[in-house]
Amino acid sequence: MTPSLDLSPRPQPEVDRPMIAVDRAIAELRRGQIVEVTAPERRVAMLAAEAVTGQSLARLAALSDIPPVLLLTGRRLAALGLGEDEAGAVGRLSGPECGDAEQVSLLANPCAEATASLRPEPALPGDRLDQACVTLAKLARLLPAALVVPLTAPTADRLAVEAEAVLRHQVTVARSLRPVAEARVPLAQAENARIVAFRPSDGGIEHLAVVIGDPDPARPVLTRLHSECFTGDLLGSLRCDCGDQLRGAIAEIAAAGSGVLLYLAQEGRGIGLVNKLRAYQLQDAGFDTLDANLQIGFDDDERIYLPAAQMLDRLDIHKVRLMTNNPRKVEALARHGVDVVERVPHVFPSNDHNQGYLRTKARRSGHLF
Ligand SMILES: Nc1nc2c(ncn2[C@@H]2O[C@H](COP(=O)(O)OP(=O)(O)OP(=O)(O)O)[C@@H](O)[C@H]2O)c(=O)[nH]1
Ligand SMILES: [Zn+2]
């Protein structure tokens, strides 16, 4: 089979400098370094709460006369009993704990309790800056919590990112996805398969399309959006239904003659593998799969489907029969201009370990089983 996509070099899209700064900031934060986040009305220096050490906290505190403040999502504040549970909200906490690295890790940590001396602080003007700090921690796949101090002037040698660039990062990255490699990969259940790798222009994480047979773009294409699940897909974990859904989708598409499976780099409904393991720990302590996410400070589902829509567009697929039980996927693809002519149920038998998980999805996430 010959490659169907034009992978020859094209004029590079204009380099988006703010986008690259965001990627650098993500790497710095994961290494426990301080980055600056700027908005027209304010500027802060931040550390990701998860990566704070005694030394880095001392360096952060030395940058300002005002002591560090901990930024947490509304979800996490509510879990600590210190605020309203509001999607998208970010709140500020102050207190002596914010100057103690061990206490900060505990406060960001899903299993910790709040301590009495913490005070919720009023929101500051331009609180999109605070949102951007927590979003950066999320993009870094760390706990959604940040320690910040205000700055009055830029520091010459420290990386600075614009808050608005952080907040639009996911969308900018998704829009920049381009196919970069394609190969024939015969699969046990679908010999006539090829994999197309899509990479964003910031060099970030790739998403994959598994194209089976030769889908006819003039007709609705049987399509599966599959979010990465290391535990289910690779290890055969029984906590979820992902392994069955992945292999089941490939078999079903092969039996139908043609179609596409998008393998999306959205581990743990977009919170990353490490945070998913934290969510599993909370589920073992009695929370369901949605509440576990909220306890950590995430929304119940952090995925966006613009990457999927962008990949379908590049594959010249505009009309799909979507294999899913999740109405959000149908609605999101339609919103991004894909014609979802049919939802094809994608249900597999449950087992003793995933019954509760599947029940919660049906009861609380609107999954159609
Ligand atoms: N945060 C979190 N993620 C989970 C949990 N169990 C599975 N996942 C992730 O959930 C995602 C499941 O993805 P999908 O099967 O594509 O999505 P879905 O919402 O169930 O929708 P359909 O399968 O299409 O009906 C994968 O990224 C898994 O890693 C969990 O308990 N917590
Ligand atoms: Zn899974």
pLDDT digits (tens, 9 = 90+) for 110-122: 766 656 577 788 7
pLDDT > 70? residue 20: yes
Closest CA to 317 of 222, 186, 249: 222
Q: Residue 1's pLDDT is what?
A: 38
Residue-number span of the structural domain to which 191 is assigned: 176-266+303-364
**Global pTM?**
0.93
pLDDT given at position 261: 98
Q: How far apart are CA 13 and CA 326, in angstroms?
A: 34
Whether pLDDT at 48 is above 70: yes
Residues 134 and 212 in one domain: no
Question: For residue 270, which ligand has an atom nearest its CA?
Answer: 1
Residue 131 Cβ inside 6 Å of ligand 1? The answer reads no
The pLDDT score that the predictor gives to residue 4 is 63
**CA 5 to centroid of chain Cα atoms:** 28
CA 286 to chain centre: 24
Is residue 228 marked as binding?
Answer: yes
Residue with CA closest to ligand 1 atom 11: 269
Residue type, 282: L
**Annotated catalytic sites, by residue?**
301, 303
User: Are residue 155 and residue 39 in the same domain, yes or no?
Assistant: yes
Residue 185 pLDDT > 70? yes
Q: What's 51's domain CATH number?
A: 3.90.870.10
What are the start-end ranges of the H helices in 74-182?
Answer: 74-79, 101-108, 128-139, 163-167, 169-175
pLDDT for res 188: 96
Does residue 295 lie in a domain region? no
| Residue 194 and residue 340 in one domain | yes
In a domain, 320, yes or no: yes
> At which of 121, 146, 169 does a domain end?
169
| CB 223 near ligand 1, within 6 Å | no
274-312 pLDDT, tens digit per residue, is: 999 999 999 999 999 999 999 999 999 999 999 999 999
Establish whether residue 245 lines the binding site of ligand 1, counting it when its CB lies within 6 angstroms of any ligand atom. Answer: yes
CB under 8 Å to 330, separation ≥6 — which residues? 322, 324, 340, 343
Do residues 36 and 185 share a domain?
no
Q: Provide the number of structural domains found in the chain.
A: 2
Higher pLDDT, 107 or 352: 352
Q: Is residue 228 domain-shared with residue 341, that is, in the same domain? A: yes
How far, in Å, is the centroid of ligand 1 from the Cα of 39? Answer: 35
- Give the tens place of pLDDT for each residue, 246-255: 999 999 999 9
Instruction: Indicate the SS3 state at residue 341.
Output: strand
Are residues 200 and 73 located together in one domain of the fold? no
Q: How many CB atoms lie within 10 A of CB 147?
A: 29
Continuous segment of H or E residues that includes residue 314: helix 306-314
Whether 77 and 144 map to the same domain: the answer is: yes
Q: In terms of domains, do 193 and 335 share one?
A: yes
Residue 6 lies in a domain: no
Q: Which amino acid residue places its CA nearest to atom 12 of ligand 1?
A: 227
Same domain, 193 and 159: no
Kindly state the percentage of the chain with pLDDT values over 70: 94
Condensed to tens digits (0 to 9), the pLDDT of residues 62-76 reads: 999 999 999 999 999
Residues 37 and 69 in one domain: yes
Q: What is the CATH number of the domain that holds 342?
A: 3.40.50.10990
Please indicate, yes or no, if residue 191 is contained in any of the structural domains: yes
Mean pLDDT of 332-358: 94
Give me the chain's average pLDDT, please. 91
**Cα(201)–Cα(19) distance, rounded to whole angstroms?**
9
Co-location of 198 and 64 in the same domain: no
Sorted by sequence, the CB contacts under 8 Å of residue 312 that are 6+ apart come out as: 223, 260, 262, 318, 320, 333, 338
Report which of residues 80 and 51 the model is more confident about.
Answer: 51
Q: Band of the pLDDT at 3, cuts 50, 70, 90?
A: very low
The predicted complex's ipTM stands at 0.97
Give the three-state DSSP class for 174: helix
Residue 333 has pLDDT above 60, yes or no: yes
DSSP 190: B
Do 346 and 239 fall into the same domain? yes
- 2 confidence band (pLDDT: 50, 70, 90): very low
* Most ligand 1 atoms within 8 A of CB, residue of 138, 242, 263, 353 to mutate: 242
Higher pLDDT, 193 or 362: 193
Report yes or no on 239 lying in a domain: yes
